Amino acid sequence: MILAHLDLDAFFAAVEELERPELRRQPLVVGGDPHGRGVVATANYVARRFGIHSAMSAAEAKRRCPSAVFVRPRHSVYREYSRHVWSTVRGVVPTVEQTGIDEGYLDVGEVASDFLEARVVAEAVQTAVRAATSLTCSLGVAPCKVVAKVASDARKPGGLTVVVPGQEASFLAAFDVRRLPGVGPKAEERLRTAGVDTVGALAALSDVDLRRLLPGSVGVVLRDRARGVDPRGLDMEVERISISVENTFERDLVDRERLHDELRGMATEVAGHLRARGQTARTVTTKLRYADFSIRSRSSSLDVGIDDPGRIGELACRLLDRGLRDRPGALRLVGVGVSGLVEYRQLALEAAE
């Protein structure tokens, strides 16, 4: 396989800079109110020099850079730019698995016979996206998904990294273990406690140490990925674009009824987006951010896609209750998201079959 991972550079901030060119040389933060309890969605590269990054509280971002310009996210604008980007990408590489509004995998092997040609194709994708939208993107080209994903982040912004067969493990080895897709906070904590700080150290773990630190199949998968072994191909069943709405509260909330009301309102908004796009969703996710900024999410998948706000709200509330049973506590943010999106016409075809 020859795959590429494409990641649009600081996408939300880049779009805002295109819409308002005077922001390009200023530290720009897209996110919530810095005088309230919002969080940073993304920041441009000027702001990142001050240590500002996504998921940081907006108040902390303001403290680090008092001169930063804060703007609220405009998701409908970002979706329009995203559609233009991915339409352009498919004009160069037809087969794409879009995994987010600003990232996805490309089957470069469909149009390139080797990695030399793959580099040329990746450069053509970057040129086409820049010409069509004035946005920049970074690409990683590799024999498998996990290496391509890490490689796309290696030379941001506007970079291109090609990892040829046989160099996967050596390329990954020096990266911090947290950079390996699939290593979450709990796995990271266990690994660091054992002195496993790099991807190479994870790759070198013996079977005995691996079972001790990361029991079960997850550990085996992560060690394989650390060695550059990842058999996953592109998932073309559905485009895994998600729609989500979230709200940060002025004060932490513990009132279950109030939280349910918030979720039902968000479910109505999410359902509106689905219907506007002529889609249904097979997975509903509730996101919980606690007072200590830790995040938990709970999801429920259905056999048939839905777009009914009542049903989405019911599932979201049930998931919140489940999450709070697992970890009680006050919440500073809740959100509702849907994924596994299917267009109505696809459902009609399935029914006909």
Instruction: Kindly list the catalytic residues.
Output: 103
Return d(Cα 70, Cα 47) in angstroms, integer: 11
3-state secondary structure the chain: CCEEEEEECCHHHHHHHHHCHHHCCCCEEEECCCCCCCEEEEECHHHHCCCCCCCCEHHHHHHHCCCCEEECCCHHHHHHHHHHHHHHHHCCCCCEEEEECCEEEEEHHHCCCCHHHHHHHHHHHHHHHHHHHCCCEEEEEECCHHHHHHHHCCCCCCCEEECCCCCHHHHHCCCEHHHCCCCCHHHHHHHHHCCCCEHHHHHCCCHHHHHHHCCCHHHHHHHHHHCCCCCCCCCCCCCCCCEEEEEEEEEEECCHHHHHHHHHHHHHHHHHHHHHCCEEEEEEEEEEEECCCCEEEEEEEEEEEECCHHHHHHHHHHHHHHHHHHCCCCEEEEEEEEEEEEEHHHHHHHHHC
